[in-house]
Amino acid sequence: MSFGNSITAGIQSFGLSDSTQRLAYPVLLARAMGTPFNYPSLSNPGCPPPITNIFANPPTRVLGLPDTFCALRSANVPPFLNNVAFPGADVLELLNTNYGPPQPPAAATDAYKLFLLGGRTELQRAREVLPTFVTVWVGNNDVSGAILDTGDAGQAADITPPATFATQYNALMDSLDSFGSIQGGALIGVVQVVGAPYVSQGRYYKAASASIPMLTVLDNCLDSLVIAPGDTVRVLVPVHYGAPIVETAAAGTPQTLDCSNYHVISVTEAVNMITAVVQYNATIQAAATARNWLFVDPNPLLQALAATPGAIRPFPAFPPDPNSTAAPFGTAVSRDGVHPSTSTQKVIAQSLQQAINAFYQSAIPAIP
C-alpha cells in the first residue's frame, strides 16, 4: 500500500495518465515484490494530459488539449486500490475523514480526490485493503506550495509550520497503527524542494543575460548565504515568473529581473523552506524509529542526480540546449520542472528496493 502525493501517484509534466501511473515507483516496487498492486488508472491522454512544452504560453499538452481536460478512469475498475496517493495531498488531507467542511481552500488538484479516490480519503481507501506493508511519502506539498505560488513565492504562509507538521504526521501514523494489519513500512522523507529546477538560482539568469542583450539581471539575483561548507543557499526564481521575462527579452523587448520582487524566493525564504524540511524529516525519521520501520531520506539521491551532468538542468540555459523541449529541466526531471521523470521514478524504486532489503533482510529482486 502506497500513500503519497503526485510523485507517488505518478504525475509527470503536470499530467497524469495510465502511461505515467504505470511508471511510478510504487508500481515498479510492487512488481518486483511480486504482489498484486492496483492503482486508479486514468485513461490516456490523461487528467490532464502531460505538458509537452512548458515554455509555451499557455504550456502545450499532449494532443493539444487544455489543462482542464480530464479523461475518465479506465472502464476496468479494480475492486480496491493499493496506490491511494493523490496529487496535491498534504499531510492534513490524508487525515481528513471526509470532504465536508471544514476543508482546506479549494485547489485545482481537488479533482483527483474524486477521480482517483471517489470522494474518500487515502486512509479510508487504504483501510479497505488491510495492508501489511506500506510506503508513505507525504510532506512535499507542505512546503512545495512556496515554490509554486504564483502570488508570492516563498512566503511563509505556504509552508506548514514544523510543529503543526509533527502533530499531523504523528496523527497520520496513529491512524495507520489503528489498521492493526500493518507489519512494516518505509517512511520517505520530504524533498528539499528548493533544489527543484522549477526554481532556478538567480545566477543562472545572470549568466543568461550575457547572451540576451535585452535582459538585465540585477545583482541582487546573486545574493547567497553559505550555511555549511560547500552548501550555499541562493536566490531562486520560479519558472512561472522568470520564463516570461526571458521570453520577452529574447524577443527584443527590454526586461529587467529584480530579485527583490515578491515573486522571487529570497535567501531568507529559501533558508526558511530548507529548515522546515529538515524539521519535517526529523519528525518522519522519529516516527519510523518508534515503529522500527525504515526511514529513507530522498535528498542524498537527488543530490547525486544533481551532480550528474544533464540530469538536472537549470533554467535558463545558454546557449540553448537542443534537448530543451524534450527535457527542459534535464533527464531526471519531467517537463514541469518539479516531478521526477521516468528514469528518476525507476531510480527511486531501485533505491527503495535496496533500502528495504537491507533493513528488513528481505530479498526483493532488483528492478531492471
**Contact residues for other proteins (CB under 8 A)?**
6, 11, 14-16, 36, 40, 43, 47-48, 65-75, 77-81, 87-88, 98-101, 103-120, 125, 128-130, 141, 144-146, 148-151, 157-158, 240, 336, 338
**Which grid coordinates belong to 177?**
497503527
Q: Between 196 and 367, whose beta carbon lies closer to other proteins?
A: 196
Shortest gap between Cβ of 237 and other proteins (angstroms)? 16
Q: Which residues pair with 257 in a beta bridge?
A: 217
Q: Over the range 321-334, which residues count as b (16 or more CB within 10 Å of their CB) and which as e?
A: eeeeeebbbbbbbb
* Look-up of cell digits 506548514: 160
Shortest gap between Cβ of 216 and other proteins (angstroms)? 28
78 vs 87: CA distance, rounded Å: 20
Shortest gap between Cβ of 101 and other proteins (angstroms)? 7
Instruction: Identify the sign of the CA torsion 191, 319, 263, 148.
Output: negative
Shortest gap between Cβ of 167 and other proteins (angstroms)? 20
Shortest gap between Cβ of 130 and other proteins (angstroms)? 5
Q: 3-state class of 358 per DSSP?
A: helix
349 vs 281: CA distance, rounded Å: 20
Q: Between 22 and 365, whose beta carbon lies closer to other proteins?
A: 22
**Cis ω for the linkage preceding 45 (within 30 of 0):** yes
Q: Between 98 and 362, whose beta carbon lies closer to other proteins?
A: 98
Taking phi over 0 as left and psi of -120 to 50 as alpha, with beta for the rest, 144 belongs to: alpha
* Look-up of cell digits 525507476: 346
Q: What angle in degrees, to the nearest 10, is found between the helix axes of 342-360 and 25-33?
A: 50
Shortest gap between Cβ of 89 and other proteins (angstroms)? 11
Q: Between 98 and 260, whose beta carbon lies closer to other proteins?
A: 98
CA distances from 137 to 224, 312, 359 (A): 30, 22, 17
Q: Between 209 and 334, whose beta carbon lies closer to other proteins?
A: 334
Shortest gap between Cβ of 75 and other proteins (angstroms)? 6
**Cis ω for the linkage preceding 319 (within 30 of 0):** yes
Count of other CB atoms within 10 angstroms of residue 201: 23
Shortest gap between Cβ of 106 and other proteins (angstroms)? 4
Q: Between 141 and 281, whose beta carbon lies closer to other proteins?
A: 141
* Look-up of cell digits 522523507: 189
Residue 129 CA to its chain's centroid (Å): 26
Q: Between 127 and 206, whose beta carbon lies closer to other proteins?
A: 127
Q: Between 26 and 145, whose beta carbon lies closer to other proteins?
A: 145
Shortest gap between Cβ of 15 and other proteins (angstroms)? 8
For residue 73, give every residue at least 6 positions away whose Cβ sits within 8 Å of its Cβ, in sequence order, or none: 40, 41, 42, 43, 115
Q: Between 216 and 261, whose beta carbon lies closer to other proteins?
A: 261
**Which grid coordinates belong to 325?**
523541449
